[in-house]
Amino acid sequence: MAAALTIGLVGYGKMGKTIEAEAEKQGITVAKIITSKENRDGEAIRSLKRDDIDILLDFTTPAAVVSNIRAAAETKLDIVVGTTGWYEELETVRPIVEQHNIGLFYASNFSIGMNIIFRLVRDAVRLVNGFPEYDVFVHELHHTQKKDSPSGSAFTLANIILNESARKKRIETGRLSERIEPDTLHVSSTRAGSIIGTHLVGFDSDVDSIEIKHSAKNRMGFVQGALRAAQWLKGRTGVYTMDDLLRV
């Protein structure tokens, strides 16, 4: 049985509210809820005490993440970050985490299913390297309220492909007005309705098409994964991702 856990939520949108409800079902105490409006430059986080909270869970905005991590570090609070779109700041954040000896867990997607997809795509690209007739692409779909495009998970997929592909060297996410170069990976997006999240990696040739697809039915996969990450992070210091949690 997992040890008792007390968390604080930073950001109280759809994800924050769903995490709160699921945490209660799992016997996890939600000791503090901080809305984005009351947390200017991490002020509300700095008012917290480590003795009262084990882990913070951040689902806010990319612009707020670095200041939130800095405030958590100064308060000696470990933090799980589910916000995407801030990863260019990782090298700024890493020394802050190490200096203050806290734990940081971040992921573009906490769904166990989506992280299985990441591994499947890695293996598929390695196989396709031996068959140049296949071209690869990424497409993602989300609801109309999602603020970033492409999604963090789409960028994770794209970077996996670039790291493993013998042919793809750069990512294109914008509108194309001319033919695409063979070394360019096209990552496209659709925003419509209430789509929770769908990610598709396709391999296309003259004779057939292969698709690896993940469709979230609801937010529960993300929520359960984030709470699992919080349980896993307790007692650890350093910077971690889902690869560390799922390492086999």
Q: Are 99 and 73 in contact (CB under 8 A)?
A: yes
Q: Residue 238, by phi and psi: left (phi above 0), alpha (psi -120 to 50) or beta?
A: left
Q: Are 4 and 29 in contact (CB under 8 A)?
A: yes
Output the six-digit token pair for 246. 């799922």
Q: Are 222 and 216 in contact (CB under 8 A)?
A: yes
Please tell me the predicted confidence (pLDDT) of residue 84. 86
Domains, the chain, in order of start with CATH, read 6-110+220-245 (3.40.50.720), 112-215 (3.30.360.10)
The one-letter amino acid at 173: T
Where residue 70 falls among pLDDT bands split at 50, 70, 90? very high
Determine the average pLDDT of the residues in 107-126: 95
Please tell me the predicted confidence (pLDDT) of residue 26. 94
Whether the predicted pLDDT of 140 surpasses 70: yes
Q: What average pLDDT is seen over the chain?
A: 94
Q: What is the pLDDT of residues 227-238, one digit of tens each?
A: 999 999 999 999
Please tell me the predicted confidence (pLDDT) of residue 1. 40
Q: What whole-number distance in Å separates Cα of residue 135 and Cα of residue 188?
A: 15
- ∠ CA(240), CA(245), CA(248), 5° rounding? 125
The catalytic residues are 142, 146
* Pairing assessment for the beta strands 103-106 and 238-240 based on DSSP bridges: parallel
Q: What whole-number distance in Å separates Cα of residue 171 and Cα of residue 165?
A: 12
Determine the average pLDDT of the residues in 163-177: 95
Please tell me the predicted confidence (pLDDT) of residue 3. 61
Output the six-digit token pair for 125. 């690209």
Q: What whole-number distance in Å separates Cα of residue 69 and Cα of residue 93?
A: 7
Output the six-digit token pair for 223. 């929520």
Q: Are 85 and 148 in contact (CB under 8 A)?
A: yes
Please tell me the predicted confidence (pLDDT) of residue 7. 96
3-class SS shares of the chain: helix, strand, coil, % to 5: 40, 25, 40
DSSP-derived 3-state class of residue 187: strand
Where residue 248 falls among pLDDT bands split at 50, 70, 90? low
Where residue 51 falls among pLDDT bands split at 50, 70, 90? confident
DSSP-derived 3-state class of residue 235: coil
Determine the average pLDDT of the residues in 64-89: 94
